[in-house]
């Protein structure tokens, strides 16, 4: 009994399986990159069990890093220039909520200084940003 294959063996590389793997890797990296919470300023927020509800679009974020750098809406500013720039933003937005994002290692005195500058600039509503407890 003589059994022969009717087809010739494949001698070319099949790229469809490689395309599937690349597509799956692309989907994985796209989905995992959306979980980045703080893409710009690296701050370790204090942890709490409750989070403040900031549903207003009229908010200004002031960030204070552990090195003492101050950011106004992701832009690095001096403490001297902070009052003038914040005053302009308060006038532009009109009665905004000031979101204070301070690193957990920052002393309370530094945060109070920033709040004082914001109050003299015309802001009167404040929220301190926190991270959820794990």
Residue whose tokens read 């950011």 = 71
Count of CA atoms in the C-beta half-sphere (13 A) of 96: 22
Read off the pLDDT of residues 28-80 as tens digits, 9 standing for 90 and up: 888 877 665 545 677 777 777 776 666 556 888 999 998 888 999 888 998 88
Cα separation, 124 vs 79, in Å, equals: 19
Pairing of strands 75-77, 125-128: unpaired
Packing angle, helices 79-93 and 108-120, rounded to 10: 50
Read off the pLDDT of residues 69-123 as tens digits, 9 standing for 90 and up: 899 988 899 888 998 999 998 888 888 889 898 888 888 898 899 999 999 988 8
Q: At the top level of CATH, which class does the domain 47-132 belong to? A: alpha beta
């Amino acid at each position: 009994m003589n059994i022969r294959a009717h087809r010739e063996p494949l001698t070319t590389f099949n790229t469809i399986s490689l395309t599937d793997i690349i597509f799956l890797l692309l989907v994985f990296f796209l989905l995992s990159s959306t979980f980045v919470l703080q893409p710009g300023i690296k701050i370790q927020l204090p942890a709490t069990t409750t989070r403040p509800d900031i549903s207003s679009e009229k908010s200004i974020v002031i960030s204070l890093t552990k090195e003492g750098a101050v950011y106004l809406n992701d832009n690095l500013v001096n403490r001297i220039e902070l009052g003038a720039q914040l005053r302009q933003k308060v006038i532009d937005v009109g009665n905004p909520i000031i979101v204070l994002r301070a690193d957990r290692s920052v002393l309370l005195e530094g945060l109070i200084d920033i709040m004082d500058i914001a109050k003299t600039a015309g802001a009167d509503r404040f929220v301190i940003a926190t991270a959820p407890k794990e």
